[in-house]
Amino acid sequence: MCGIVGYVGSKEAADILISGLRRLEYRGYDSAGIAVFSDGEIAVRKEKGRLSDLEEYMKSAGTPYGNCGIGHTRWATHGEPSYANSHPHSAGRVTLVHNGIIENYIELKKDLEKGGYTFASETDTETAAALLDRLYKGEPIKAIAELTRKIRGSYALAILFSDRPDEIYAVRRDSPLIVGLSNGESFVASDIPAVLKYTRRYYLLDENEIAVLKESGVSVLSLEGESIDKEVFEANWSLEAAEKGGFEHFMLKEIYEEPEALKNTISPHMIGGLPDVLNLSLGDKRLAAVNKIHIVGCGTAMHAGLIGKTAIEKLARTPVEVSVASEFRYVNPIVDKNDLVIVISQSGETADTLAALRLAKKMGAYTLAVVNVVGSSIAREADGALFTSAGPEIAVASTKAYSVQSAVMYLFALRLALVKGTMNENEVAEKSAELAAMPKLIERLIRDLDPTCKKLAEQNKNTESLFFIGRGMDYSLSVEGSLKLKEISYIHSEAYAAGELKHGTISLVTDGVPVIAIATQTPLFEKMISNVKEVKARGAAVTLVCRTDAAIADDVYDNLVLMPEISDLFMPLALAPFIQLFAYHTSVIRGCDVDKPRNLAKSVTVE
């Protein structure tokens, strides 16, 4: 949510800021703005709506010309989407943009009002700008350091001082910022895609470090003003990887990228035909001593954890609890020093997941991160990290991240089973080979399922409510399928364990109500078909997803989707493209904004 871009160099800043913000649109936003040093002053242009609305506004208001500036896309938290609440915000000599939430802004605002400051917006950000202006006595580092001591909450700030032309200052806490490095120009951004067009080299700004950006280069200082040597990272994916590449939408492109992402994730973790997912800080001896596992994540990442729970308990016979990250801290979790806490996050910056990680560490548990971004906050703070290789995922609705997170869960389960002795080496090698073969199978399935899903989407485009049902791992997949459909098509959708229908939910099934029934788990198939008959008898329009050799009567379903004969264990991985393509085509046919669904953001860095 929210995006920050800053540039200082010899080129026109406005063009670079707009270009960078466009590459951050996937984060979700409802207003946009830029501030540029122009003709001796800071010129601000901002507008409610999309970047195109800002560009249209600048045709009449004028584009500010200059070589240094900051830009922002805002996802509303404090105050509705409006011109006044849009960033950048100015107060006296300070203009800044902000990601995150200032928790104590009300008390700060009241104190500032007593001192004569007036406010034009409802935002916490304007309060930060006014406070910084009051603290500023001509020395930016001292003022910013004092600001960090007075404000509570999460923030990433990019700051301009009116008497410091051609300089940008940046600082962060619990909200990510990267600093891009190039000859004769410097960048700051909330994510790498914003600067990939210009550089692949960057610093990861750590908490309470202050970056000073000039055309001549970047310096990073402590709050006390001492110079800090930073490691230079290099993005391992290209600008082309963050573009549509001929696909109509990023989401469709990313679904089609799943086979390659799975291959790139699974292959490095296979040595001698066996899974090798452990780093030096979590060896087999320590893993063998784990009594219980907690998997923590948000949304799609948590759903990948549900797949992981079943795989771990089935293969390694080790108890697993899956928790929503935003609830984990508030239920007084029972975590022992011999427990393992696995946190899953695509970005590695998810605020609730990061907070859960920190709590688990305080409680003495070993923590393991499953993340896609090397150097992210979660990756750095966890005791160990397993990296997925999804590459950039631009669409708000997560697709390939779900698949690779699930794949890592399978790899971990197999390794744990080997270490715990619940499977022998030959058994683990056999399952590992099946997992390694999944990318090629899924490549074919995507191609075959695409037209089927488009047809199903056409049939269901006008429905108001739809249900997914399943049992066992099919239910875990159904939860993700329901989320995908509702978040991008805006159809009310729910997932239910099929055996629970008779305990209330079946009252909602009437003539014509669509039901996606997933029935691929062999031991549960007959019971699942009985559940399907229950909804069919009440008039449901059933799409049945089952194995090719399943023995079923024609009157059980209205649509039939057949899956190849693979093991029950890996069926959710094979079915992931089906639920994603169905949601995608439904969204397209309904005329929704597939890549940027309303009210949603890609990277949720506030609690």
Q: Mind listing the pLDDT tens digit for each residue in 38-93?
A: 988 999 999 888 888 899 999 999 999 999 999 998 766 666 778 788 889 999 99
Interaxial angle between packed helices 425-436 and 400-420, expressed in degrees from 0 to 180 and rounded to the nearest 10: 170
- The strand ranges marked E within 166-304 are 168-173, 178-182, 185-189, 201-204, 210-214, 217-221, 233-234, 270-271, 274-275, 293-297
Question: So what's the pLDDT on residue 606?
Answer: 47
> What would the mean pLDDT of 331-344 be, rounded to a whole number?
92
Q: In the predicted model, is pLDDT for residue 280 greater than 50?
A: no
Average pLDDT estimate for 390-395: 84
- Judge contact between 414 and 440, C-beta under 8 A: no
Which is it for strands 384-387 and 366-371: parallel, antiparallel or unpaired? parallel
Cβ atoms < 10 Å from Cβ of 426: 9
- Cis? peptide before 275, omega within 30° of 0: no
Phi/psi zone of residue 375: left (φ > 0), alpha (ψ -120 to 50 degrees), beta?
left
Tokens representing 339 are 């427990």
Indicate left, alpha or beta for 158 from its phi (over 0: left) and psi (-120 to 50: alpha).
Answer: beta
Which pair of tokens denotes residue 169? 């200052």
Calculate ∠ Cα 574-235-439, nearest 5°. 15
Tell me the range of 97-111, 448-462, 522-536 where mean pLDDT is highest. Answer: 448-462
Can you list the domains of the chain with their CATH numbers? Answer: 3-241 (3.60.20.10), 244-436 (3.40.50.10490), 449-593 (3.40.50.10490)
Average pLDDT over residues 279-287: 71
* pLDDT tens digit sequence for 585-600: 999 999 999 988 877 6
H or E stretch covering 319: none
Task: Name which residue leads in pLDDT, 1 or 386.
Answer: 386
Q: Which pLDDT band, with edges at 50, 70 and 90, does 560 fall under?
A: very high
What's residue 78's pLDDT? 60
Mean pLDDT computed over 334-352? 90
Token look-up 């899974």 returns 275
Strand partners, 117: none
Residue found under tokens 């229908």? 501
Q: Which residue, among 21, 34, 86, has the nearest Cα to 65 in the 3D structure?
A: 34
Torsion of CA 371, 377, 381, 384, to 10 degrees: 20
Cα 118 to Cα 18, 57, 110, 161, 369: the distances in Å are: 30, 26, 10, 19, 44
In whole angstroms, how large is the CA radius of gyration of the chain?
25
Residue 434, pLDDT above cutoff 90: yes
* Structure-token pair, residue 217: 């280069």
**Separation between Cα atoms, residue 521 and residue 494, nearest integer Å:** 20
Q: How far is CA 238 from the centre of its chain?
A: 19
Q: Given this model, what pLDDT does residue 240 score?
A: 63
Residue indicated by tokens 């929210």: 2
User: How large is the average pLDDT for residues 277-306?
Assistant: 86
Task: Output the pLDDT for position 28.
Answer: 62
Residue 239 has pLDDT above 90, yes or no: no
pLDDT band at residue 395, thresholds of 50, 70 and 90? Answer: confident
Q: What is the pLDDT of residue 241?
A: 63
| Structure-token pair, residue 1 | 């949510």
Sheet holding 210-214, edge to edge: 89-91, 94-102, 153-161, 168-173, 210-214, 217-221
Of 46, 48, 309, 602, which is the active-site residue?
A: 602
Angle between helices 124-135 and 105-114 (to 10 degrees): 50
As a whole number of angstroms, the distance between CA 411 and CA 195 comes to 34
- pLDDT tens digits along 98-132: 988 888 989 999 999 999 999 988 888 999 999 99
Q: What is the mean pLDDT of residues 348-359?
A: 90
Do the Cβ atoms of 344 and 303 come closer than 8 Å? no
pLDDT at position 233: 86
Q: Which of 2, 68, 453, 546 is catalytic?
A: 2
Mean pLDDT, residues 207-212 taken together: 92
**How confident is the model at residue 207, as a pLDDT?**
86
Q: Coil, strand or helix: which one is 284? A: helix
Q: Is the pLDDT of residue 605 over 60?
A: no
| Mean pLDDT, range 13-38, rounded to an integer | 86
Q: How far apart are CA 528 and CA 499, in angstroms?
A: 8
Q: List, as one string, the DSSP characters of 362-381.
A: HTT-EEEEEESSTT-HHHHH
Q: What percent of the chain has pLDDT over 70?
A: 95
139 vs 394, more confident: 139
Higher pLDDT, 159 or 78: 159
Average pLDDT over the chain reads 90
Rounded to 5 degrees, what angle do the CA atoms 396, 36, 23 make? Answer: 20
Residue 501 has pLDDT above 50, yes or no: yes
Tell me which residue of 70, 76, 20 sits closest to 48, measured CA to CA: 76
Q: Give the model's pLDDT for residue 454.
A: 96
DSSP 8-state assignment for residue 56: H
Cβ-Cβ contacts under 8 Å for 380 (sequence gap 6 or more):
none
pTM above 0.85, yes or no: no
Continuous segment of H or E residues that includes residue 34: strand 31-38
Does residue 546 carry a catalytic annotation? no
For residue 96, the cross-strand partners are 89, 159
* Interacting residues of 252 by C-beta distance below 8 A, sequence separation 6+: 584, 594
What are the tens digits of pLDDT across the range 194-205?
888 899 899 989
Distance of alpha carbon 472 from alpha carbon 81, whole angstroms: 42
Terminal CA-CA length for the chain: 11
Starting from the edge strand earliest in sequence, which strands make up the sheet with 492-497, in order?
A: 492-497, 465-470, 514-519, 541-547, 559-563
Residue 64's contacts (CB-CB under 8 Å, 6 or more residues apart) are 13, 14, 34, 35, 36, 38, 43, 45
